[in-house]
Chains A and B, each alone.
Chain A
Amino acid sequence: MPDKTQIHDFVRELLTNSGDDQPLPDDESLLLSGRLQSIDAVEIVIFLEENFAIDFAQIGFDRDQLDSVDAICTLIQSVAK
C-alpha cells in the first residue's frame, strides 16, 4: 500500500507552486478538471518513476490514472502486484 500522505503532499506542492491553495480532497480530479495542466502531469510521472519505479514505457500511459491522489495510489498498487 503506497503512502497516500506522500502522494498527497507531492500533489499539494505542485498545486501550490501553480498558485492554487484551495483544499485538495484525495478523490478530486486534477487534470481533467484543469487544476493541473499537462505540463504539470510530467512532474507526477517523474515522481512516480523515481520513487515507485513505475515504467510507463512498459505499462502504457493513461492520463486518467493520474487524475487524483486516489487514482495515483491505485496505479501504484496495481503495478506493485
Chain B
Amino acid sequence: MNHAATNAETPAPNRQATMESVLRMHPGVQDVAVVDDQRDGLTAFVIPEDTYMKNVLGRAAAESSVLGKWRKIFDLSQLSKEATAASVGSNTAGWNSSYTRREIPLDEMREWVKNTTANILSLRPETVCEIGCGSGMLVLRIAPHCDRYLAVDFSAEALNRLRDQLLTLPELATRVELMERRADDLHGLEEKAFNIVLISSVVQFFPNLAYLTRVLESAASLVKQGGHIYLADVRSLPLFQAFALSVELFQAADDLPVGDLRGRIHRRMEREPELLLSPAFFFSLKERLPNISRVEIRPLRGRADNEMTRFRYDAILHVDGPSEVSFDDAFLDWTERKCTVDEIRSQLHQHPQRTLALKHIANARIAKDLAAMAMLADADAEIATGTWQRGLEPLRAPGIHPQDLLDLETEAGSGFAVFLSWAACRRDGSYDAIFIPKDLLQGTASPSIAWPMPEASACFNLAYAPGQIKLCNEILKQLEEHCSLNLPESTAVNMILVDRIPRAQDGTISVMAG
C-alpha cells in the first residue's frame, strides 16, 4: 500500500505534532507518524484502521467481489479443453505467461512443480493441509509421501478435475480428502493437526493484507509444534517495477518510442490485478503471530527463464520451533570483489570446513531488466525502444545466476549445502547466499541462519493490494477533508498510506527511500 495525496506547503510552528494529533482524531487512522524531510516538507505516514476499512468503507464487499471473480476464472479454466484432456498430474490450465499471454511451456511448469515438490518433501511432510490446491499438481506428487493430505480450494471445478484424477489412483484415496472452502474459512478443522500448511501460488489472488493475515492466523493454529507454513511462488513487491518493465520490454515493438514504453510500464502497474508482497510482511507477521518462530525467504530454484524464477519467492514460516540462530556468520559483500562462480568453487575447495556467506550478489536472471530500469527515467522519449535497448548491453552488470550457486551443492565432491535468501527486500533483486559444510548441518534441511534483514525504509509498504485501491482513495479523501477542516488553511498535507511505520527505539522513523 502506498497511496498519497498532496496539497501546497506552508511552514507552521509545531506543525508535525499538530498534524499528528489532528490525524489521530479521525476514526480511520490506526497510527500516524509525521516527518519533515526538509525537501518535500511534511509527510504524514498513516496506517488505516482495520475495522474502519472493513465496516465503514465496506471492505468485506470489495473482498467478496474480487474473490468471486477469481473463483469464476479458475472454474472457467478447468472447463477448457486443455484441462479436461490433460494427463494425470499435468493439468496446467490457467498458468499463463504475462510475457506471451499464452500458456507457460509445459517443460517450464514441470521444472517448477519438480522443484516445489522437492522443497516440500525436504521438510518431511506427514500431514499436509494445502490451501488452494487447484487441480492438484502438488497434491498428486506430495500425497504419496504423507499419511494424510487435506486439499482445500474454492473452485468447485478445480476440485472436480482433481477428483477425476484421484479416481485413477486408488492408493491415494484413503489419504487425500477434498474440501470446497474459501481460504479464510477454515473453521472446524482440528488445531495442531498438520505438520505442513501449504499455500502455493495462491496468495496473489487474495484481495488485501487483512485477508491474507486472517488466513495465516488460521493456518498457524492448524500447524503442529515444529511444523511449517510454506507459501510457494509469492509475487515480489520490491521487484514490482522490474517485473512490469521486463514484460513491457518483451512485448514492445523495436520502433516503439521509449516515452510510450514508459507509459505502458506505468499503466501495467496501475492495472495490476494481483496482490504483491514484500518479504518484510512475513517478518512483521511475527509481531502478530508469536508462534511464528522463524521466517525464510528463498528465491526460486530453476533454469527456466520465466516470471516465476525471476520475480517470485517462497516464504517458509516456522511454527513453534527453536528460535536460536545456528549460523550467524558475517556476510561478505559480494559487490566489493564481484567474485565468479569458479572463484567461489575454488574457495570452497580450499576451506572445506569453513562456512562462506556472501551478501548483495547481483542477480544474473534479471540483470538485463535492471540495467534498463536504471536508465529508463533519463532516456530520450523519442528514441526507438530497440535502439535504446541495444545501447544498454554494455551497462549490464555482471551477476551470478542463483541456480549456478545451488548447483555447487550437487557437484561431485562438494561437501557443502547451499542456501539463498531474498529476506533483505532489495529492489535491485540481489540475493544473499551461504555455503555450509554438510557435517555442520546435523541433517536439517532448513537451518537457522542470521540472514541480512531489510532496512527500515523497506518496511513501510508491505503489499500492493489491488482489491482495496478504491478504499484507499476514499480514506485519503476523507483524511484530506478532515485536515482541511481542522488544520490552518495552508498547512501542507502530503499523506501516504502505509502498512507499517518502522520506528527506531528512540521513536524516530526513516523517511522512505524511492
- Which of A19, A38, A42, A60 contacts B79 (CB under 8 A)? A60
Nearest A residue to B84 via CB reads A60
Residues of B contacting A34 with CB < 8 Å?
Answer: 101, 251
Residues of B contacting A45 with CB < 8 Å?
Answer: 72, 76
Nearest A residue to B251 via CB reads A34
From residue B407, how far is it (CB to closest CB) to chain A in Å? 35
CA of A8 to CA of B464 in the docked complex: distance in angstroms? 32
Residues of B contacting A33 with CB < 8 Å?
Answer: 101
Residues of A contacting B340 with CB < 8 Å?
Answer: none
How many residues of chain A are within 8 Å of chain B by beta carbon? 19
Given A31-B101, A32-B101, A34-B101: A46 and B271 within 8 A (CB)?
no
- Tell me if B76 and A61 are in contact (CB < 8 A): yes
Query: B26: CB under 8 A from chain A?
Result: no
- Which of B70, B81, B101, B270 contacts A39 (CB under 8 A)? B70
CA of A63 to CA of B79 in the docked complex: distance in angstroms? 11
Given A34-B101, A34-B251, A38-B96: A18 and B76 within 8 A (CB)?
no
Query: B80: CB under 8 A from chain A?
Result: yes
From residue B375, how far is it (CB to closest CB) to chain A in Å? 24
CA of A38 to CA of B71 in the docked complex: distance in angstroms? 12
How many residues of chain B are within 8 Å of chain A by beta carbon? 19
Secondary structure of the B contact surface, majority rule: helix
- Tell me if B273 and A39 are in contact (CB < 8 A): yes
Residues of A contacting B80 with CB < 8 Å?
Answer: 60-63
CA of A37 to CA of B274 in the docked complex: distance in angstroms? 11
CA of A41 to CA of B73 in the docked complex: distance in angstroms? 8
CA of A68 to CA of B23 in the docked complex: distance in angstroms? 49
Q: Name the interface residues of B475-507: CB closer than 8 Å to any CB of A.
A: none
Residues of A contacting B79 with CB < 8 Å?
Answer: 56-57, 60-61
Nearest B residue to A39 via CB reads B273
Q: Name the interface residues of A34-79: CB closer than 8 Å to any CB of B.
A: 34, 37-39, 41-42, 45-46, 56-57, 60-63
CA of A45 to CA of B79 in the docked complex: distance in angstroms? 13
Query: B267: CB under 8 A from chain A?
Result: yes
Residues of chain A at the chain B interface (Cβ within 8 Å): 18-19, 31-34, 37-39, 41-42, 45-46, 56-57, 60-63
Q: Which 5 interchain pairs have the tightest Cβ spacing?
A: A61-B79, A61-B76, A39-B273, A42-B72, A42-B69
24 A-B pairs within 8 Å (CB atoms) are namely A19-B267, A19-B270, A31-B101, A32-B102, A33-B101, A34-B101, A34-B251, A37-B271, A38-B96, A39-B70, A41-B73, A42-B69, A42-B72, A42-B73, A46-B72, A56-B76, A57-B157, A60-B81, A60-B84, A61-B77, A61-B79, A61-B80, A62-B80, A62-B81
